[in-house]
Chains A and B, each alone.
Chain A
Amino acid sequence: MTTMYVLDVPENTHLAKVAAEDPAVTVGRIGPYFEITSDAAIVIDRRATGCRHAVWYSAIGGIARDSRITQHDKDALRVEPA
C-alpha cells in the first residue's frame, strides 16, 4: 500500500485531481488533507498539475511509513511501497 497526504488548499487541488486520474489511485480525505492511496506506485506528472516550482516542491503533507518517495523533480512525483 502506498499512502501520501496533501493539504487541501487552492494550490494543491490540481495535484489531487491529477493523482485521481489514475484508476489505481484513490483520493479520499482525512480532516483537511487529501489522502492519496494506491496498491502500487502513485505517480503525478508536474506539468499536468500546472503547479509552479515553489508549490510543487512543498506540496507533500506526509508520507506513510510503509511508503517512500522515489522521485520528486521537475517532471514527476513518484511514491512507492517502501
Chain B
Amino acid sequence: MTKLDHRVKGVDHAAFPTFDPAGTVRFYRDVLGFPVVHSICAVGWGPEDHPDFIHFFFDIGNDDRIAFFYYFGTEPFNTGRGDAYSAFGPDVPTYFIRSRHLAIHVDGYEDLMEYRRRLDDSAWPVEMQIQHETIESIYTHDPNGYMIEITRALRPVTPQEDLDANLTIDALLDVVAEPEPSLAKLLARKAELIVDRAPAWELARAGQEAGR
C-alpha cells in the first residue's frame, strides 16, 4: 500500500439545519461564548424550490467552525425522538440515536469545568460527565436536539495506541468480510496480528528513537 501524504487541516465547518435560530444563537454565542464569525444571507435559487436562507457560523476554536442553516418559512420535517435533522420511531434504540454527536476539545480540567458552569447556568445544563478510557467529557443537547460533547484528554496519546488502533481496524476489516462478525472473532484475529506485527513495530520504533 502506498503511503498517501496527509494534507488536511482539521474541520473547516460541520453544518446542521436549525428551526430555532434564536435558541441556537443563545446556546452557542451567549451561553458557550463561541463568537459568530461568518454568515451568508441567500435568496433561494436553483432547480429545486429552495427557500431563502441564512447560513451562519460559530468559531469552535482552532479556526474550526460549527455552522447552521436556517430556512425561512419552513416547519420541522421530523417530529418525535431525534433532532432537527432526523427523527426515529420507537423501534430505534436510544444508544443508536445518541451515537452521532460533535465533540469539541478543551485543553484541561479547568476549561472543561468552565464550560460545565456555563451550561449548568443555562437552559441546557450538562446531562452527563463521564471519564472514558483516556478522555473526560461533558454532554448536553443543543436547542436543535444535537448532542454536543466537550472533552479533555486525561493524558497524552502514546505511540503504541496508534499501532493498536491500526491492528484493531485491520482485524475488523478481516472479520466483517466473513459471516457473522463479532467482538470475539475480532479479538482472535487481532491476537494473530499482534503476534505478527507488534515485535517489528517496537524494533522499528526503538531504531527511530536511537536515530534521534
- Residues of A at the B interface (CB closer than 8 Å) are 3-5, 7-11, 30-33, 52, 54-55, 58, 60-65, 68-69
- Whether a CB of chain A sits under 8 angstroms from the CB of B202 is yes
Give the CA-CA distance A54 to B188 in the complex, in Å: 21
Q: Is the CB of A63 within 8 A of B194?
A: no
- Whether a CB of chain A sits under 8 angstroms from the CB of B134 is yes
Interface majority SS on B: helix, strand, loop or mixed? helix
> What band does the interface of chain B fall in when counting residues whose beta carbon is under 8 Å from A?
20 to 34
Within 8 A of A (CB), among B118-173: 130-134, 155, 158-161, 163-164, 167
Give the residue of A8, A9, A62 whose beta carbon is less than 8 angstroms from that of B187: A62
Give the CA-CA distance A4 to B190 in the complex, in Å: 10
Q: Is the CB of B132 within 8 A of A30?
A: no
- Whether a CB of chain A sits under 8 angstroms from the CB of B201 is yes
Q: Is the CB of A8 within 8 A of B192?
A: no
Q: Is the CB of B194 within 8 A of A62?
A: yes
Q: A8-B160, A31-B198, A33-B198 are in contact. Are A64 and B191 (CB under 8 A)?
A: yes
Give the CA-CA distance A68 to B200 in the complex, in Å: 26
- Whether a CB of chain A sits under 8 angstroms from the CB of B184 is yes
Distance in Å from the Cβ of B104 to the closest Cβ of chain A? Answer: 20
A12 and chain B: residue at smallest CB distance: B133
A-B contacts, 6 listed (Cβ < 8 Å): A31-B199, A32-B202, A33-B198, A61-B164, A61-B194, A62-B167
Q: Is the CB of B131 within 8 A of A62?
A: no
